Chains A and B, each alone.
Chain A
Amino acid sequence: MSNALRFLPRQLADHLVTRGVAMAVVGLVLMLPLLSTLHLGAHVTPEQVDLAFGQALRAGAPLLTLVATYGIVGADARQGFYRFLFSKPVSPTAYYASAFVVAGMSFVVVELVLAGVFALLVGPTWSTTVLLDAAVGFVLLGAIVFAFSRFTRLDWLVAILVTAVANFARWKYPPHDSTLGAVLNVIFPPTGTKTYFPEGMHPAWGPLAWALGYAAVMLAIGLSAVRFLELGSNR
């Protein structure tokens, strides 16, 4: 087992302490208005619970993703932590790949905590597709953040801008109307998909594959930057 993989549990513990708590607080704050409304209501059907939880998670997941993934590479470079880390027999590429996985695990843990709080205060939700949708959303947006992490400390802001520009480009140049629209549709991330699991556990394979494929390319860009660019500068 590589040293980076052996280090993964410590990375997860550190991520949960430094960001997981913040993510849970942000998630709860975002859910608060919905929680108070539902809690005060006299009767809530299981379908309404699932719907409300889905809405809350869809609204909050992008923000939680940004908190989980910003500065994965950039923060170490900026704060100088890379010096001791990568004087050890560790591959930086493996280390940051596992850091991204850790951010994803942390995201799932926080999702489950929020689902638990929701169940406690409102009622149990069995809408696993909502959790899966959020997970795919995490992989897509998180990978975009990661792709820029070696280049700028504002990787999270770049990801927001890329998403906004993608939405604008698809509105201005619909993919099926022109060649430019079709090209832009390929270049920009697939941000238009509302759900990857429209019929229970049966995924919409096309959008799912497109999102995961796009994320894979973004992760490859991020890892290539770690592998082929300098780890840090003295200036």
Chain B
Amino acid sequence: MIDVSHVSKTYRSVLRGRTVHAVRDLSLTVAAGEVFGIAGPNGAGKTTLLAVLLGFLRPDGGSVRIAGDVPRTFVERHGVCYLSELVDIPGWWSVRGAIDRYALLTGIPGHARPAAVRDAIERLGLGEHRAKRIKQLSKGNRQRVGLAQALLGDSPVVILDEPTHGLDPLWTQRFRDIVATLRRPDRAIVIASHNLDELERLADRVAILDHGALSRLVDGGEAPAAGALAYRLVLEADHAAVSASFPTARRTASSRDVSFDVEGTIEELNAGLRALLASGAVVRAFYPARSRLEESFRQAVEQS
């Protein structure tokens, strides 16, 4: 569905004499039916890449095709369900007026528009705010308006840039449910986020960008990489057998419980755990210290 081939984008400031390579020789594909995550530290090129996908920016090199079209042509024909990182909507528009205007631009016919607007407002819990002006809304509510307008229409491409930015935990959870309903076989969904936990839950694959280049592509279905794994061990009470069972164990700074960071291969960790339980220690929890995506992210950024 989306084919990015050797794309580069450079910003040049003539006055400051500065050049920033925002995206460098980036290639990736997003298939229909896939939820594709984009992660990376600040300035990694995530938002620039999305702007290129939407045809707002033109790549200096390489090419982008969406369903065979250049981005601008695709967007002007089909539209894209898009939420930008910054929700910029004229402040004097009311919530209802804004959604109605975007519904009109989406091409929703007049007879269906009132229902579509009502649905979008209710789906994002904006009913009590419908008459308020955009400038009167909190950051979280503004983000919900942005999401509501993104969900209008029926585009085969969804692009969400930091979608849970500013949302409270309840709406973050609801957002995940909404993305689940957006998923369908003929639609490609791209989500750029700093929130690795969110990407790990939602995305089938995650591209980790750093300094504008594709540093790593993490597949959700991949088996854990061989080698040392970092786990957290939480005990009911301190126990002398910990250091014997896990030679690499380090006590964490947590004051709430007795916990240790341990490392080892999957076999070493299992052996250590067996030894610890046999010595009479009561284990409350044993879980990865970092998620696999976090681990990949850390490695990718450290490498570069």
Contact = CB atoms under 8 A, between A and B. Distances in A.
A80 B84 contact: yes
Contacts of B150: 87
Contact of B78 (A82, A89, A230): A89
Interface string B103-128: 01111000000000000000000000
Interface string B266-302: 0000000000000000000000000000000000000
B262 interface: no
Contacts of B104: 3, 6-7, 10
A231 B89 CA distance: 16
B110 to A, nearest CB: 9
B75 interface: yes
Interface in A83-111: 83-91
Contact of B88 (A10, A14, A81, A231): A81
Given A89-B107, A230-B56, A81 B89 contact: yes
A231 B82 CA distance: 16
A89 B77 contact: yes
Contact of A233 (B11, B82, B106, B159): B11
Contacts of B57: 230-234
B38 interface: no
B146 interface: yes
A117 B80 CA distance: 47
Contacts, number: 85
B56 A86 contact: yes
A197 B26 CA distance: 60
B137 interface: no
A31 to B, nearest CB: 27
A121 interface: no
B153 interface: yes
A82 B56 contact: yes
B90 A81 contact: yes
A140 B134 CA distance: 35
B51 interface: yes
A14 B58 contact: no
Interface string B69-101: 000000111111110101011101000000001
A87 B107 contact: no
B259 interface: no
A91 B73 CA distance: 9
B47 interface: yes
B131 interface: no
A88 B102 CA distance: 8
B138 to A, nearest CB: 19
A234 B56 CA distance: 10
B149 interface: yes
Contacts of A232: 51, 56-57
A86 B106 CA distance: 10
B92 A17 contact: yes
Interface in A65-91: 79-91
Contacts of B159: 87
B86 A89 contact: no
A235 interface: yes
B27 to A, nearest CB: 21
Contacts of B81: 87
19 contacts: A81-B89, A83-B82, A83-B84, A83-B88, A84-B82, A86-B55, A86-B56, A87-B81, A87-B150, A87-B159, A88-B102, A89-B75, A89-B105, A90-B105, A231-B57, A232-B57, A234-B48, A234-B51, A234-B57
